[in-house]
Structure 1
Amino acid sequence: MDATIAALEELTPVSSSFAPIDDSAYIRFARTSPGTRTPVLIFNAIGVSSELFLPLSLSLVAAGHSVVLWEYGRVGDDGDTFFSRVQSYKALLGHLRAGLYDLGLEDCHAVTLCNGASVLARLQAELPFAVSRAALISPYFNLLHVPHQSPYETALVPLLMKAATDEGGAARFVHSVLNRGGHAVASKEALSKAHMASPRSIAGYSRMLRDYRRHDETDVLRRVKGELHAFYCLDDEAVSTDYLEAIRSAKPSIGLSTYAGGGHYGIVDNPSLLADVTAYLGGDR
């Protein structure tokens, strides 16, 4: 998060705070100074570095928004990680909820990536402020009854589930695959600074993911409040087109903008998507 804060500080003052879990685990928050438009909370996918959102954060601040980002633990640490201490989804939500309470936020908008949409949905009813509009980038909810055949689901998820119980072979293999040259994931450096830093961190993250995927979220999805709009790249490696349609069938009020390219991390790789998200959160589209 240091690089994100440094870049934002060239535009506006940034305050940073920590919500401690124990002596070595924490959630770190960064909040830019008040702007002229509605503040924006950035719900990153579980375990993904906030650096993935630097282009969007800069765009939102330049458009007059204050932004709030957070990161779980010491991203990139090759030893114990946040996910070595917090391995249940319920515990993760509890710590994040407490940290957001302490920030004293007022009503805001939100942007989510992947299962960050689930985090928003599960916290929304318990936060002391309203989220009136949310941009859902490549949204993911765990729908147990819906088949999902994306490359991520068929190739990587089974390995991560195995790594949840095997810190040796499976975790080392996932680490080697994700860190070899030419990998298809956009902004790999930003992603790998999170839960992919080492085999041990992959194992910890995988246990969190396994716990998250035990629960069907159809009802959670239907309870999401506010105006919702999905931004989706047709070549998304993690969320298939059919799966996205299942999400929208469960919540028909979700609007949709599609893009030919950009993959799961189109917020980095597709300038049109980034511009459209910024405009949507500002009420300009």
Structure 2
Amino acid sequence: MVRGNVTVISEFLLLGLSEVPEHQLFIFSLFLSMYLVTVVGNLLIILAISSAPNLHTPMYFFIANLSCVDICFTSVTIPKMLLNIQTQSQSILYVGCLTQMYFLILFLELDNVLLAVMAYDRFVAICHPLHYATIMSPKFCITSVSLAVIITNIYPLIHTLLMDTLSFCASVRIHHIFCELYALLKLSCSDIHINELVVYTLGSLLFVTPFLFIFLSYKSIFLAILRLHSLQSKLKAFSTCSSHLAVVSLFYGTLFGVYLRPSSSYTAEDSVATVLYAVVAPMLNPFIYSLRNKDMKQALRSLLSWRQVWSW
């Protein structure tokens, strides 16, 4: 049902978190700082893992890939937001908006799948330690990441093609810092039942399935830990999973709060929740993986030491 005047549009307006001029400098400084911390932090993780031979293991291979995805995730959104604030413009081209939505969903899915593969890695390490090297072989690691990249392109492509068939009302004001799926659907004057059906079916399959896989993996891990006799062994086994569990909790805690409900109930306040998984989570991941990991901290110290720099 048409909800207003339908028009052919060439651009959308990203209203951001606030339209008050006095707030723009603070928002610009805050998000610029968060973006720089995200890029530098994740880049250091990648370089540290690459430069330390003792970190060339499946677990750190997946962490490096997760850091790469997190850099791409934030780079899709924050630079455009900062540019708009700097130029005092809110516009984003229609094609650019759909492109941004595509890559947002793609990197969100990749995060989701990588977290599931990392849970499997911890499951094999704790529940089947004698077969770890055989199961988590370099071939398996590379193949799993490659398949994840291929498969996760399907879902955003479907949404982008469906979005391109919709008509939009005269209002093109998006109450968000980026072109988020639900925010765009709410502006449409077309019937969006097919779009929502894709979210509830294919979307649920692609997002909930990895979550259930993670849940079942950790159920087996916790049962295996409880069977250990030594308290020290239990703590050591749990410590290898604590960082991953923290990242999973941060990621899914904000993700499900936004997307496990109809797009019609989406409000401007939900943009704050999406900022948590799209901006805050990628920024915190490097700290979560490095602060409680002795090997990672040692690799970062070696990477940043002047002695190593001069030895090159």
**Structure with the largest fraction of strand:** 1
| Larger Cα-atom Rg | 2
Structure with larger RCO (C-alpha < 8 A, sep 6+): 2
**Structure with the largest fraction of helix:** 2
Above 0.5 in TM-score? Answer: no
TM-score (norm 2): 0.28
